[in-house]
Amino acid sequence: MKKWIITGVGVAVITAIVSIVRTSGKKGGDDEMPVAVAQQGDLVIDVLEGGNIQALNFLEYRNEVKLPNGIKILEIIEEGYYVTEEDVAKGKILVRLDQSELEEEIVDHDVEFQQTEALYAEAKQNIEIQESESLSEIKSERQKLRFALLDFQKFVGADAARETLKKLGLPYDNDTLAIYEKEATDLIVKAFETRRGDGNPADSEEGTEVASFALVANDSLAANVNFSSFLNEAELGDGEAEQTIRRMRDEALLATSELALVEESVEGAKRLHQREFITKQTLENELVGLDKAKLAVQRSQTELELFRDYEFPKEAEKMLSLYEEALLELIRTKRQKLALMSQIYAKYRSVKRRYELELKKRENLEGQLASCIIRASQTGLVAYGGANTDYYTSRYYEGISAGATLKVGQPIITIPDMSKLGVEVKIHESHIKKILLGQKVYITAESVPDKTLVGRIAKVAVLPDSNASRYNPSLKVYPATVEIDGTHEFLKPGMSAKVEIIVDELADVTYVPVQSVFVENGEHFVFRKTLGGYERRVVKIGSHNNDFIELQGGIEAGEEVLLKMPDDYEPAQVDKSRLARRNLPEPVVPEAKKSKAPTVSSDERKPGTDKNA
């Protein structure tokens, strides 16, 4: 009976072991594997980084002297000296640089600057002279134009001149002259602007308009006027020509009257000669007088006809032509003077630009000379170098000390504002999406580990730090600034500090150590400890920090999970085509302590296996 009982118990134990093995799908023998218990509670999601404490506000003195070989430090105040308010009031010298080479450069530049200044003054004076001469010449041509108009009006009469000029489209009084001059000046200016802009005024509307104006103006309009019709149609006004015609008519009438008297006298002389009252000589004298009277009549009539037919049209056309020429001469003078003033202004602008550059260079040299002596302007602790000097920039610059040579822009000393401190940290690209402005931060200075300070994220860079990736292109870190709340006397710039950025605070969640979660075929899983060994269990993960990861499904609180992958576990082969069809993203492996939790990638899996949980 006992034998059957023992046999039954043995069979039962064997059956239980087989059942456990079938349930787990894995072999036993993992009693010594490290395990952890899934916990239920609050979980703080944070990012841990290291950095240096810096003053958020500081006064930084840099080398502003631009010499090819740099400039040497003659004197510099010792590092760590505290600048007091008395030092600021007295203007205490903090740094003195060697300014001898800079003074020589200033002396050499003075000669060139004086020459440029003389040319600039001459160019300004030349503008005033040429403007005055140009205005005088234009004024003279304008006066000649008015006189030409008056001469034409005087000769043919004001009304006749007005009507004639109106028909020709020419200005006929002072008002229309002013309008004509303004329009012509506008066309000239447009032509110069077009030439300056396009280089070919004939290709533009303005250039065509100016060319048309010149063509019309160069044609003689006076030649097309029929001045003889003025006499026939009685259009001639009461001018000089009309007075000349009247005088000639009067002279012809007087000659005719005198001829009639002479003819009557000759007839009387003939009668007296017949009666022998006068001699033949006397009669001949009377006949000679008659011939003279006839000639006088003929001469006066001829003069009148010549003036009406030839002299009047010629003089009228001549005076009108002189008026036209005066119009053109005014425009030509304006064109010439505008071209001349353009050249003078161009030369002036060139000289002025050179003068301004030389003046700016002189002021820059004087400013550099003044920067060779740096005086105290703010209280605080003196520190050598710049506030943001890092490893790469410190290698580029020579160390700060008396006798050292400074490069352009090199930080010399910095006086930080101790009332506002912060921590400069570099966030790895894997965490940068979690970091937001205003997030709460806990800061611990390594020199004072027993005190924890509170701060906020004040600034996050948009682009990664180029210096950090100079020697390691795959490293992408983003500079960020943590602002420390309050003031703390024990903090000093340059101290190393650790910061804990609080990303999220999860309440009542299930979480396990990050090294207990693995990735395979795009799935996250853990090894749950069982009575007979372990069981591969697929889980759904949530947020994580450096130590723990949230599990949103697959494991319950209180269950035990392995902290490393069992030695006898064979990962399944990754079907990359299946992952591609499912459009799965790259597997996300929570950051874990690599020495404790080795993860298995698809490249490490044995080919030919296909074991899925």
How do residues 61-113 score in pLDDT, each as one tens digit? 999 998 888 999 999 999 889 999 999 999 999 999 999 999 998 998 998 89
Confidence at residue 381, expressed as pLDDT on a 0 to 100 scale: 87
**Exposure of 205 by Cβ count < 10 A (0-12 exposed, 13-18 middle, 19+ buried)?**
exposed
Confidence at residue 229, expressed as pLDDT on a 0 to 100 scale: 76
Residue % of the chain over a pLDDT of 70: 81
Confidence at residue 218, expressed as pLDDT on a 0 to 100 scale: 52
Confidence at residue 163, expressed as pLDDT on a 0 to 100 scale: 87
**Region 321-341: what's the mean pLDDT?**
89
| Half-sphere exposure for 250 (CA within 13 Å, toward CB) | 6
Confidence at residue 206, expressed as pLDDT on a 0 to 100 scale: 39
Instruction: Say yes or no to pLDDT of 540 above 60.
Output: yes
Strand ranges across the sheet with 93-97: 373-375, 93-97, 71-76, 405-406
Confidence at residue 391, expressed as pLDDT on a 0 to 100 scale: 53
346-393 residue pLDDT tens: 999 999 999 999 999 999 999 999 999 999 998 888 988 876 665 555
pLDDT band at 196 (very low <50, low <70, confident <90, very high): low
Instruction: Say yes or no to pLDDT of 157 above 70.
Output: yes
Residue 90, in any domain of the structure:
no
**Region 492-504: what's the mean pLDDT?**
88
Confidence at residue 289, expressed as pLDDT on a 0 to 100 scale: 87
Instruction: Say yes or no to pLDDT of 165 above 60.
Output: yes
Candidates 41, 55, 24; CA nearest to 387 is: 55
Separation in Å, CA 27 to CA 110, 571, 608: 94, 14, 20
Instruction: Say yes or no to pLDDT of 10 above 60.
Output: no
| Half-sphere exposure for 30 (CA within 13 Å, toward CB) | 27
Confidence at residue 37, expressed as pLDDT on a 0 to 100 scale: 92
**Domain range holding 158?**
137-170+221-361
Residue 241, in any domain of the structure:
yes
Candidates 288, 281, 262; CA nearest to 273 is: 281
566-593 residue pLDDT tens: 888 887 665 544 444 444 444 444 443 3
Q: Where are the alpha helices (DSSP H) in 157-239?
A: 158-168, 174-198, 205-218, 228-232
Of all helices (H) and strands (E), which one includes residue 338? Answer: helix 312-370
Return all residues near 383 (Cβ < 8 A) that are at least 6 apart. Answer: 79, 80, 413, 414, 415, 416, 493, 494
**Region 428-438: what's the mean pLDDT?**
88
Instruction: Say yes or no to pLDDT of 186 above 70.
Output: yes
Residue 524, strand partner residues: 519, 539
Residue 246, in any domain of the structure:
yes
| Count of the separate structural domains present in the chain | 1
Assigned token pair, 360? 């700016």
Instruction: Say yes or no to pLDDT of 12 above 50.
Output: no
CB 557 within 8 A of CB 38: yes
Give the integer Cα–Cα distance in Å for 171 and 333. 18
Residue % of the chain over a pLDDT of 90: 27
- The position carrying tokens 């520190």 is 383
467 CB neighbour count, 10 Å cutoff: 13
Instruction: Say yes or no to pLDDT of 2 above 90.
Output: no
Candidate from 22-36, 83-97, 268-282, 539-553 with smallest mean pLDDT: 22-36
Residue 250, in any domain of the structure:
yes
Average per-residue pLDDT in the chain?
80
Confidence at residue 395, expressed as pLDDT on a 0 to 100 scale: 61
Residue 392, in any domain of the structure:
no
Could you tell me if residue 276 is left (phi over 0), alpha (psi between -120 and 50 degrees) or otherwise beta?
left
pLDDT band at 6 (very low <50, low <70, confident <90, very high): very low
**Region 6-34: what's the mean pLDDT?**
44
Confidence at residue 613, expressed as pLDDT on a 0 to 100 scale: 30
Give the integer Cα–Cα distance in Å for 130 and 127. 5
Question: The dihedral of CA 514, 608, 22, 532: what is its sign?
Answer: negative
CB 53 within 8 A of CB 451: no
DSSP assignment letter at 587: P
CB 321 within 8 A of CB 222: yes
DSSP letters along 382-432, please? Answer: -EES-TT--HHHHHHSPPPSTTPEEPTT-EEEEEE-TTSEEEEEEEETTTG
CB 379 within 8 A of CB 85: yes
Distance, CA of 192 to chain centre: 28
Confidence at residue 499, expressed as pLDDT on a 0 to 100 scale: 92
DSSP assignment letter at 490: T
Give the integer Cα–Cα distance in Å for 407 and 70. 5
Give the integer Cα–Cα distance in Å for 332 and 185. 10
**Region 315-328: what's the mean pLDDT?**
89
Residue 494, in any domain of the structure:
no
Assigned token pair, 423? 């921590």
Assigned token pair, 130? 């040429």
Candidate from 187-191, 229-233, 366-370 with smallest mean pLDDT: 229-233
Confidence at residue 510, expressed as pLDDT on a 0 to 100 scale: 93
Instruction: Say yes or no to pLDDT of 3 above 50.
Output: no
CB 378 within 8 A of CB 83: yes
Residue 424, strand partner residues: 52, 481
CB 210 within 8 A of CB 190: yes
Residue 141, in any domain of the structure:
yes
Confidence at residue 4, expressed as pLDDT on a 0 to 100 scale: 33
